[in-house]
Chain A
């Protein structure tokens, strides 16, 4: 079963709010990813966790803060976002952070910042 789950499905938040996005997988994958996708554009990588350690931060602003509490869970904490941060936020996982392994995406959280 190649399932990655994400909550919430939709989120509307004001620029002063703090919220969190959650991602979970039970495939035993050891690499997890956050992507941001704007309309009609491909996904853009934000963060990679490998074996629960932050492996890649693609120069993402500090108002986005990732956390990997354990090998199955990945969170993205949001604070003081801007309207231009409105997008689809996708979580993905793979067996390892290695070119041999495919990434499987969750359904995403559609975020609107007002």
Chain B
């Protein structure tokens, strides 16, 4: 079983839609979690850190459920520019563990 698992997608959604990505992690010792976004042939860019209480940044909301070992990312009012791969990441001990990424395609 992979340490961090995501639905690879693709998720194809119209502009203005709300889309949710889910991620599970297997190592209960994981302490910190992040969402990165990666555009085709570019580097991963930090989107959000995920806190236990949940956190929101504009159209983006991240949630963490430690009991279920589950992380989510909600994107509201999707824009064409949101099209990218979204990487769920857990920090274990001394390094990052990446999920395989969920591909999002927003269409007009």
Does any Cβ of A come within 8 Å of B1's Cβ? no
CB of B100, distance to nearest CB on chain A (Å): 6
Chain A 90-102 interface 0/1 with B at a Cβ cutoff of 8 Å (1 = within)? 1000000101101
Are A105 and B44 within 8 A (Cβ)? yes
Contact of A103 (CB < 8 Å), options: B42, B93, B96, B99: B96
Would B91 and A43 count as touching, CB distance under 8 A?
Answer: no
Q: Are B95 and A105 in contact (CB under 8 A)?
A: no
Residue of B nearest to A4 (CB): B43
Choose among B49, B96, B99, B101 the residue with the greatest number of A CB atoms under 10 Å from its CB: B96
A15 within 8 A of B: no
Whole-angstrom distance between the Cβ of A37 and the nearest chain B Cβ: 9
From residue A11, how far is it (CB to closest CB) to chain B in Å? 15
Count B interface residues, CB 8 Å. 21
Give every chain A residue within 8 A of B100 (Cβ-Cβ): 41-42
The answer, yes or no, to whether A106 is at the interface (CB within 8 Å) is: yes
Chain A residues bordering chain B, tally (CB within 8 A): 21
Q: Is the CB of B99 within 8 A of A42?
A: yes
Give the complex CA separation of A107 and B42 in angstroms: 6
Pick the contact of A102 from B34, B42, B92 — CB < 8 Å? B34
A97, B94: Cβ atoms closer than 8 Å: yes
Please tell me if the beta carbons of A56 and B95 are within 8 angstroms of each other in the complex.
yes
Question: Which A residue sits closest to B42, measured CB to CB?
Answer: A107
Complex-state Cα separation, A76 to B46, whole angstroms: 23
Chain B window 71-106, contacts with chain A (Cβ cutoff 8 Å), 1 for yes, 0 for no: 000000000000000010001111110111100000
> What are 14 A-B contacts with C-beta separation under 8 Å?
A41-B100, A42-B87, A42-B100, A43-B44, A43-B98, A45-B96, A55-B94, A97-B94, A99-B91, A104-B46, A105-B44, A105-B45, A107-B42, A110-B41
Known: A42-B98, A103-B96, A107-B43. 7 other contacts (CB 8 A): A2-B46, A41-B100, A43-B98, A45-B96, A99-B92, A104-B46, A105-B45
- Residues of B whose CB lies within 8 Å of any CB of A are 31-32, 34, 41-46, 49, 87, 91-96, 98-101
